[in-house]
Structure formats: C-alpha cells, structure tokens
Structure 1
Amino acid sequence: MTVALYCRVSTDEQAEHGFSIEDQQERLKAFAVSQGWTDYELYVDDGYSGTSLERPAMKRLLYHAQAGHIKAICVYRLDRLSRRQKDVLYLLEDIFEKHSIAFKSVTESFDTSTPFGKAMLGILAVFAQLERETIIERTTSGRRRRVHKGLWYGGRIPFGYEWDKENQRLLVVPDQAHIVRTIYRKYLEGESYNSIAEWAESQTNDRKFDHGVIRDMLMRPIYTGRMNNAGTLVDGQHEAIIEMPTWERVQREMANRAEGRTPAGDYLLSGLIRCGLCGAPGIHIVMHQRRKHTYYYYVCKAHHVRPKNSKTPMCTMDAKNQFKLEASVVEKLMNLALDPRSIEAELKQQQTEVNNSLEVVEDIEAKIKEVDRKLEVWYDNLEDESLDQDRVKRRITSLEDEKKRLLRRFSEIDVPSAQNKESLMDSFKLLRNLWNYATLAEQQAMLRALVKQIVIHPKTFDVSFVWNV
C-alpha cells in the first residue's frame, strides 16, 4: 500500500491566489519526507473545480482507495479535496474511514479519530464552501465586468505594457513591445521556447524569462488588443502589439509542435520529414566511412532508432541522401509555384484527407465517451456490496485499458488543416521570388510557413506535402 498525495487547482484559483500545482506538489513531497513516507504517489487534477468529485485523478484515487491500495491520503489544504461540505464528509466517512485510510492536511491540524476532530473537519468544510462562494461573487463577476468593458482585470501587468493608474489603461512600452514582436517572429521561424528565452534574457532586465514564460506570452490574446472573457475574445481598450493573423499563425504552430513537429534545426528539412510507410518523424544523420568519406542522410526514425527489447519490426523506409531530397523538395515546390491549378488540386486533395481524418476522430471520440459512460456505471458499482467486487474491479481495469488504447489512437491521428487559397498563393509567391537570395534560416522560415509536413516515399525522392498556411 502507498500514500496518496492529492493536488487540485482550478484556473481561477491559480490566477487569483497562486495555488499552483507545482507549489502543492513540492509542499506535499516535503511533508511526506518529514513523515518518513517513501512510498507515495501523486494524484493531480489541474484545472478542475472543487465543487464536484467528477475529476479524473479524484476518480482514480477513489478507485484505488476502495481497492485497498492506499493507506493514507494527504492534501495541501482541506479545500483541495473539495469545496462542498457534503462531498468532504462523504469522502471522510464513507471512503477514508470505511477503508481505514488516514487523512492528513499539510497546513491544518486535526485528528479524525476523535469526535472533536471530526467536528473541526465539518466546520472547515463549511468555511471552505463559504469561501468559494464568496470568492466567486466578489471576484469573478467583477473581473468579467471589467473585461467586458475592455479593461484590464488586475494582476501582474503583461510584459510589453505598463499601467496608467490615472486613466486605468494599459499603455505600450515601446522597447518591451519590440521584444514581444521579435519573440513571435522567432517562434514562427522555428526557434524553441528555451532559445527564445535565452535571447530575451539578454535583451532586458525588466522581466525574467524561461520556456514557460515564453509559452504563456505566445498564447495570450491580450497582445492582439483583445481580452479573454470566459472563452470569448472581446476588444480591449489598449493598443495591440501583435497583429491578429500573426497570433493565429503562432497558435497553429504551437498545435503543430504539440503533435510532434519539432523546431527548426541546422538542416533545411529539420522537423518537417514524415515517413510515408509508418508515419514516424524523419531525422538527420551523418555517416563516416573509414574516416575518408562523410555521407548526409534523412532517415525514418523508426528505421534508424529502435527501442531496446522492442518487438515491433523496424520500418523498411530507405535512407534519403540529404542533398538529393532537399533538391527534390525545392524543385517540386517551385513547379507548384508556377502552376496555380496544381495548387488547387493539392488543396482539394488535402480537404478530402481532412474530411476522412475528422470522421475517424469523431468515431474515436464517440467510443471514448461510451467507455467513460461505462466506467461511471462500474465506479458506482464499487459501492454496491451485493455485487462481486472482484468482477467489478476486473471490468474497470479492462475499460481503463481500452480507454488508454483509444486515447493513444486519438493522439496519433494527424488532422490536416483546411487551407486558405489566397494565403497559400502568397506564400508560394514569396518562395518563388526570394528563395535563391535567402539564408538557410530564412529558407527554413519560408518552408515552415508553407508546409506542415513533407512525406517521403520508398525507393524514390518524390515527396508529398501537408500544407501549413
């Protein structure tokens, strides 16, 4: 049996009070060490409200608690468990106490083995619920009213702006705004969060930068002169630093990288190659032959790098000479640039692929929802003592495994984006006119603006493209 360290934060709470998941984890781990607990497991619900027990990590925690895998549960504060008195008492009395599970709070002292300790828990649960309702009434509605009017809702001022207290407005700081624009440009050129952060650190002492700060800056619509009001963008009463089309391009690039596309490297096609046989990414390798000759190739990663003890057969895609493959890619793009009709055919083909992929996505999503529905039923059956509990647990394990397989399939599906014809034509025109005069970095930027993936085929240097305009 193990000790469960449970963390939870909602988006509003982290923004308002700083209850970050990372802080809770560090405090809980330190507390576990102080108690001499070496066997512990983290259960993390990031971005989930405390008003319901319908949280992924909480469900997993309850399942493991009732299965007898947990001897103690520890939280940073009682309201991390739940902000509803009814749910807190249910967990403490019907789950933890029933299964002889100790309960600890890092910041609160109480002994649940005594009547007074149980009463104190009930009082704390009442105040947790009251605090939440008060916070919602006092802050959330006020913030949304300000955002609805296009006014800054408070908190740390975004880098690139300063606060005009007299007029209650955000004002652009020119030198910081230049850094923000350059951050967006560098990201679209293929640089990583870390490399951009290092550059930004060398430009100013006004703010500390790391990969997380850069990622958040790239996601914030406030730089477009707009603000997020409960998922809806509204016009703010401040000047934009980044144009909306640029911001949208950055969001697409972030989605591409999240799907596995890497930032640009030292080679023209770095991060763009995909194997036409197995779908694995392509990598660049250098081979030396008896220290006399050096060869440069693009290869399928599943062919060149095989995990230890893997039973999966290696991909049979042949290695592609770097210079021949790059020349083939450039030649095909130039030919397309000279023939608008061929571009329209490419777009039509890609739209067909979009529709096919979306059908697969919808099918998998429906299956995941059905598995979740069944899991809900079987989780409820854990409380029915008239049922064979071993059978219930076996069924839950089987459904959890099925969901993992579906989620893995879902993550492997690459849905191409339906493209804008005019934007695509503009990018082709830029490539046609500037390619021969551009540096390697500029050529990489043009390719990445135009192409999401370059699919290689066996025994040939012919390629096909997935567009990314």
Structure 2
Amino acid sequence: MSAARAALYLRLSKEDGDRDGASQSIRNQRDFLLDYCGKNSLPVVEIYADDGYTGTNFNRPGFLRMVEDIEAGRVDTVLTKDLSRLGRDYILTGYYLERYFPERGVRYIAVNDRIDTAAEQSDMTPFRAVFNDLYAKDISRKVRAALQTRRQMGKFIGTYPPYGYRKDPADRNHLVVEAEEAAQVRRIYAWFLGGQTVSAIARRLTEEGVPTPSAGKRMACGQKPGAGWSYPMVRRILSMPTYRGDLVSRMSQKVSYKLDRVRRLPREEWLVAEGTHEAIVSSATFERAQELLAVRGYAARRKPAEPRPLTGLFFCADCGAPMTLWSNGKARYFVCAGWKRNPGEHRCTAHYLREEAVLEAVRASLAELLAQVRDPGGLAEEAAGPAGEEAEILARRLERSRDALAALYCDRAEGRVGQEAFDALAGRMRRQEQALADKLAAARRREESREDFRARAAELLGGGVLTRGLALGLIERVEASADKALVIRLRCADITKKR
C-alpha cells in the first residue's frame, strides 16, 4: 500500500476575530495539524491556506489550488482542524464530503470533529455542516447589525472617502474636506445652477484635465487613470447629500450572506446621518440642485409624441411597403411608401386612404369580432376559466413533486435509500419538477393574455379611443390594395372562440 499524500487546509475569515493568538489562527491550525500528522504517520506534501476568506462559498484561491492538485493526483488525503474550516455552506460542504472526495479516492479528516471518511461516517456530519452554515448566517447578521449601529452614529466605514473628502488622520471614521477636490465640487454645483447640463460639465472637466474621482484609486493600484469625466460621475456629485454635510450609507445590500452580489437600494431606503462632517456646499445650494435635477431629468425622460395607432401595422397589399401618413393641413392620409419614395419608377400605384376612414374600418372590424361575445366580463370568465383551472392543477402537481423530492432527501439522510438509487431518483424528480414549472409558467402566461384581452375589449366597447397601445395589443396587420380594399388581421380572434 502506497504512503498517503496528505494536504493540510487552513482557513480564517475576517469574521473569526483577532488573528494574533486566536485559537483559530492560521499558525495555530497549521501547528495543530502538523502535530496530528506526526503522531499518526501521515506525510504532509502541501499546505494550503486562505487567510481572510469566508466559508460560505468555495471560491478561495488556496482551496482551488488544492482541488487542482487533487485532480492531478498529487493529494489523496485532506485534513482540516474542524469541519467549519472546510466550509460553512452545508450544501457545498456536503457535496465535497459525500461526492467529490469519495469519487476521487480522497480521505478527509476533520480532527476536532472526529470525522474520518476512511472510517465509518458519523451520522452527525450532515448536522455539523448545517450548524456551521447557521453559524455563518448568525455572524453575518451580527456584523451587519454592528455596521448599522456605526452608520447610525454617523461613522464613516467605507474603504474610500467620497470625492472632495479624505479620512481624518485623528479619526478614520470621520471625514474632512480635501481642498483641491472640494473646489471642483463647488465649481460643478455653480456651473449646474448657472444653467450648464450634466454632460456639458463632464466634457468641460475632461477638457481641463481634472482628475476623475476614480483616478487616484486606480493610480494607487498601479493602473492607468482611465477615461475622463462621465455623466454618472457628475450626476452622483450633484445628487449626494454628503456634500451638504450628511453621511450617506447603505445605498446597496448583499443579496445573501453566501453571495458577493449586491443590489442597489432605492433612495428612500438609504441611511442618512445629518451634520456629521463639514459641508462643501450649503443646504440651499444642494436643494436647488435637486430641484433642477428633477426638472431636467423629467425633460430628458419625456418621450416624443406617441406614434399614430397604426404606425408599423399598416402595409400596402400590392408591394408590401408601409402605408405612411401624409397631411395636407386639413386631413391625414395613408399613402403607399413604395410609390411615394420612387414615384417615377412605377413600383406601385398612387393609392391613398384617409386616416379617419381606416381607423373607423378597424374599429368596425373589432366591434364585429367582439360582438360575438355579448359581455366582456363573460368573455373573461369563459376565456380565463380553463387556463385558471389548468394553472391550479399544475401548481398542485408541482407542490406534490417538491414534497416528494424533500422526502427523498430525508430518506437518503436517514439511510433508507442508497446513494446510487438516490442520484437516479433525484435526477428524474428534478427533471419532472422543472417540466411542471415550465408548464405552469406557460399556463399563467396564457391566463394573463386572456385577462389582458378582457381589459382591452372592455375599454374599446366602452367607447375608448383606439390608442397605439390598444392597436398593438389587438391588431396583427392591416393591408390596403390599389382599389382601397382593406384586409384587417386581428391578434385576438382565437381568444374569442367558444371552448
């Protein structure tokens, strides 16, 4: 029998506390495991360490390097001080213990937890993984609570201070004004209140060669200063209460304690501590800037006039070109674009129709279709009924499928189902669950489509105007030939059919 090739894996996260002299320190873990290997005649070929990495995911450089060596056959035994050093996510930790290590013939030992996969596996191992995961969640909650308290006290806890400020040397949680950058902030506010646009201010700062807020950070990391000022940079300075002396925090939030992904919080959920540091601009200046941002932002967001109802839906039946609107000052006419653009090439004929007449024909066609159903409410009930019943049935089937899968996991955990049978059954049940979920989503989309039609039908029959939105929802295509005959194809014809 060949000698074991043991690897020691050491991990310490920031949440584990003081690293110097702590029981969980990297040095302590290494000495502890080397002593264990010496007493048990396990030759150590490599030591892998992740200092400052959370245990809630496995995307750690030391761990990934160890996995590469396992794949290369250089390691066949892995030791950690306890199971939590391997990981605190019970699903992924369970995967490595139950699947990955056994499939590659790797022995795993968690010394303090008395786990050794070469011996009979302890029934408590899955529970320890769960406890470790809950511990990580609890630590995350406590850290967030501590940070929240400091934010509410007006303490700055960010890595980099906002543009225009620096950290107070006497108190790293307090901001003081950085004179040169603060002067640029005042210029930005003065220009904006003087009528310049955000984009114009960004261009002016770039042309003057003023360093951007990120330039200093990039150069400190040995990177190029980057491009010039942008619209978001200037707008952020104009909209942050920081510049009137208020500390703003909690603008984003982690999606989960297990993930690094964050989501931006709406402005009303930001945490603002007032009067925590010296202001660069007055409150009156800041408020005036917010008023202008709101007005100009609204103006920038305003859309051009809504297209006419049949724009993009009306075509020439003879040449396929769009029927475009033309006005003589008194009335609007639809004209074949194929003829209008190239009248001398005889690609089509000069046929045209009054917009008013075409819209009336469309309304009449819709009215005729909707007259097949006496009452829009009745139509909704008739159309939505089968889809609603289908969705309810599928939802119940999906719930039963998920319950069955959960029961299978319990059977596996309690040893009533073997690993091979579990893998086969779980795979089939997951596929069935996904198929049911897809069918349920499709049924709900059909139900929503019929409900949307009910609302549109009620609006039109109630004397509503044929708006662009209504036309897009009800009309597929309108065609006009040279003899001015109209063909109107409606999207909703199939929904009105009796079931």
Q: TM-score normalized by structure 2?
A: 0.31
When Rg is computed on C-alpha atoms for both structures, the one with the higher figure is 2
Q: TM-score normalized by structure 1?
A: 0.33
